[in-house]
Structure 1
Amino acid sequence: MIKVLVVEDDPMVAELNKGYLKRIDGFELVGVLHNGVDALEFMDKHPVSLLLLDVFMPKLDGLSLLQTVRTRYPSVDVIMVTAARSSSDIQTALRQGAIDYIVKPFVFERFQSALMNYRERMNLLSDETELSQAAIDGRIFAKGMRTSKVPKGIENETLQRIRSIVKQQSKPFDVQELVPLIGLSRISLKKYLDYMVEIGELYSELAYRGQGRPVTLYRYSR
């Protein structure tokens, strides 16, 4: 089992990570901590294979923790799960050895893809003493390549209509605000908006409006 430590200061996101992790075979959650200092203390005493790591945290931020982990625990891998989306933060994380970078808010499929790719990579590297170029290309690095294929259920005509309406929005919006303008169900519309986030046409972020669960807000990025 791959032992996973979640380091996330937002309790709701931490619970989301825990719930998603339970749905994927081969992983064992060994702890949930809310800052980098506690994470280092935990790792001194417990075996950890993989960190799911936020950037913005008190006491010791995620990028500083990542740098320390690379020095002190070189065998521990790190997947960033964070709202930090600046190119400098992403570049720093990758240069310091993060193996994947998931931007909040994210869908289960993106989380699942990152974990399953990591699991397959670890299985391959532990089972084989030597790897062919085909195995390296097909089972380690190729999975990180983007595909231009449109997901099932995304119709181009509808996508163009949504894109046209989204461009007219002068401020960040949530799914429900666009439902009467588009004429799709909330679930169907969210599928299109999440796809536009994936391909870089929209930015998304979590916003808290009083009590209750956070709301995903979208804004056009071009």
Structure 2
Amino acid sequence: MTDPIRVLIVEDEPLTAEAHAAYVARLEGFTVVGSVGTGRAMLSAVAAERPDLVLLDLDLPDAHGLQLVRALRTAGFAVDVIAVTAANDARGVRNAIALGIVQYLVKPFSFRTFSERLTTYREYRQGFEGHRSLSQADIDERLGALRPATPSEPGKGITPGTLESVRAALMGATGGASATEVAEATGTSRVTARRYLEHLVSVGQVDKDVRHSGPGRPEYEYRWLR
């Protein structure tokens, strides 16, 4: 039986770090060996735990993630790194790729997206097992395994522009919002707003609960999951 992939989580927001650890725990073939919140702690943890994979927030309080990747390479650590960050500027992404970061996850993301990225990474690693040498075709196949066969697509009838508007409205709501409130904020119908909100619930980005506001039929309140 193949040993699980040992994962170190590097994230300075405790709730986000806990969420990432919970995501990893749901995936077959992975185990969390530690969670730290600073660059200095990351370098120490890599030396002590020898993880296979680091889930690295690029914006840490004491160092930028790319500086830490350079430090790892200088120290001779060949650990794989997946960038987990809200930063998506073109130059930063290019620099990350140049340093050998194997995947790039832009916050916020759903469990489905997280699962896709780590599953493709696991398949990439497994492609090297049992081989002493690789042909050109083998190498091409291994590199191709790092990319999902198809990008994650919204559900049927979900358009990216409206989806982003609903996300923005919900993220800006204090304490959550109903479908009616989201519809007013986005200029859509209540039925449309509810369909998009339910889609976000299905991909793990939004939670919903019953809002009790007096007599009459209760309505659902939707909350963005940070």
Shift, 1:31, TM fit:
0.5
Q: 1:61 to 1:149 in 2, by over 3 A?
A: closer
CA RMSD of aligned residues (A): 3.4
Q: Does the 8 Å contact 1:5/1:30 carry over to 2? A: yes
SS in structure 1 at match of 2:94? helix
User: Which residue is 2:73 aligned to?
Assistant: 70
* Long gaps (5+) in structure 2: 172-176, 204-222
Q: Does the 8 Å contact 2:182/2:193 carry over to 1? A: no
1:9 pairs, out of 2, 8, 12, with 12
User: Which residue is 1:121 aligned to?
Assistant: 124
SS in structure 1 at match of 2:35? strand
2:170 pairs, out of 171, 174, 177, with 174
Q: Does the 8 Å contact 1:50/1:76 carry over to 2? A: yes
Identity, % of aligned positions: 33
Shift, 1:10, TM fit:
1.1
Deviation string 1:163-191 (CA, Å, 9 cap, x unpaired) is 4x679x7xx42275544524236464463
Please show how residues 123-162 of structure 1 align to structure 2 within 5 Å.
123-138=126-141, 140-141=143-144, 144=147, 147=150, 150=153, 153-155=155-157, 159=159
2-side partners of 1:166 and 1:120: how far apart?
31
Q: 1:96 to 1:24 in 2, by over 3 A?
A: same
Q: 1:166 to 1:148 in 2, by over 3 A?
A: closer
Q: 1:166 to 1:144 in 2, by over 3 A?
A: closer
Deviation string 1:99-149 (CA, Å, 9 cap, x unpaired) is 000000001111111111111111111222334455444454155166479
Q: 1:132 to 1:9 in 2, by over 3 A?
A: same
Please show how residues 85-124 of structure 1 align to structure 2 within 5 Å.
85-124=88-127
Which one-letter code corresponds to 1:16 in the other structure?
A
Q: Does the 8 Å contact 2:39/2:62 carry over to 1? A: yes
Q: 1:69 to 1:37 in 2, by over 3 A?
A: same
1-side partners of 2:196 and 2:100: how far apart?
37
SS in structure 2 at match of 1:173? helix
1:34 pairs, out of 2, 19, 37, with 37
Q: Does the 8 Å contact 2:39/2:68 carry over to 1? A: yes
Which one-letter code corresponds to 1:184 in the other structure?
T
TM-score, structure 2 normalization: 0.71
TM-score, structure 1 normalization: 0.72
Q: Does the 8 Å contact 1:174/1:216 carry over to 2? A: no
1-side partners of 2:124 and 2:146: how far apart?
10
Q: Higher mean Cα deviation, 93-102 or 127-136?
A: 127-136
Is 1:80 paired with 2:83? Answer: yes
